[in-house]
Structure 1
Amino acid sequence: MQAAKNAAASAKEKAENLAASAKAGMDKTKATIQEKVEKAKAHDPAEKEEAKLKKQDRISQAEHNKQEARIENAAERERARLDAAHHPGHGGSEGSALPEHGKSGVHVTLGTARSGPMGTGGTR
């Protein structure tokens, strides 16, 4: 069971990394196009140089965002792995007696309990 959870977390991480890479690629392409537009509108070499610097900044920001996403995705996978290792058999809503793990319709907050059909707000 743990191996399946780890495999699912790994697959999720890969998919999210792929999405982050795709977004970074789109952002880099957008930066290049914006540079071309700004250079076409520029009237002097200083404005053209400024457009080039803006493009480089946008590309650097896109790459930074991608790396941050990869770090966060790896951390999320590690949290899932540790959670599975520390709570074997508590795979979420199935098999758990804890209200926060199931769809029991019970909501407990600071000593108060509400129960009722899901999505209706319950009774007090």
Structure 2
Amino acid sequence: MQTAKNAAASVKETAANIGAAAKSGMEKTKATLQEKGERMTAHDPTQKEMATEKEEARINQAEYEKQVAREQNATQRLEAEATGAHSYSTTGATGHGMGSHQMSALPGHGTGEPAGQVVEGVVKSRPIGMDTGTGKTLAGHNTKAGGGASGYGTGGAYR
């Protein structure tokens, strides 16, 4: 059981790291494209140099944030392996499992309770013909059920 938990924590960490790398890559691409645009519109070499420096700073910041996220994800995996569930983030922000706190306005949703629709003040339905409170099924009261197909009945669409 513990091995499965460790494997799940490792998979979650890997997925979070992939997300962090993707986010970092997008930030780097945006920085490069913005730098290209600024260099094209710049009129003097100083403005072009400033655009290049700004791009390098943004790329370094994106790489730094990716590394921080990877370290956070590794720490969270170790905590999850030692204590239980923990959430992962592509931004490196520490998350906590919701435990018994609901994540949704739906009753029972996100609480670990068995799945199923819950409506306050409404009794669960049962299969048709079962548990009518009379000790009999409704099929015993249906004149169309069972033998003799004489066609007598309510005259409705059910024949």
- Structure-2 change in CA distance of 1:50 and 1:119 (3 Å): farther
Instruction: Give 1:103 shift.
Output: 3.6
1:12 aligned residue = 12
d(CA) in 2 for partners of 1:119 and 1:71? Answer: 43
Tell me the SS of whatever aligns to 2:33. Answer: helix
Query: Which TM-score applies when normalising by structure 1?
Result: 0.68
Kindly report which structure 2 residues correspond to 1:63-102, keeping only aligned pairs within 5 A, or say none. 63-84=63-84
Q: Which has the larger radius of gyration?
A: 2
2:37 aligned residue = 37
Q: Kindly tell me the number of residue pairs found equivalent between the two proteins.
A: 94
CA deviation profile, 1:11-32 (whole Å, cap 9, x unmatched)? 0000110111111111111111
Letter in 2 for 1:6: N
d(CA) in 2 for partners of 1:20 and 1:65? Answer: 8
4+ aligned runs moved over 3 Å, structure 1: 101-104
Identity of matched residues, %:
55
Higher helix content, 1 or 2 = 1
- Return the structure number with greater relative CO, CA threshold 8 A, min gap 6: 1
Letter in 2 for 1:54: K
CA deviation profile, 1:70-115 (whole Å, cap 9, x unmatched)? 011001101101104xxxxxxx78xxxxxxx8549xxxxxxxxxxx
1:61 aligned residue = 61
Tell me the SS of whatever aligns to 1:43. Answer: coil
Letter in 2 for 1:30: K
Higher strand content, 1 or 2 = 1
Tell me the SS of whatever aligns to 2:43. Answer: coil
Query: Which TM-score applies when normalising by structure 2?
Result: 0.54
Instruction: Give 1:41 shift.
Output: 1.1
- Structure 1 unaligned spans of 5+: 85-91, 94-100, 105-117
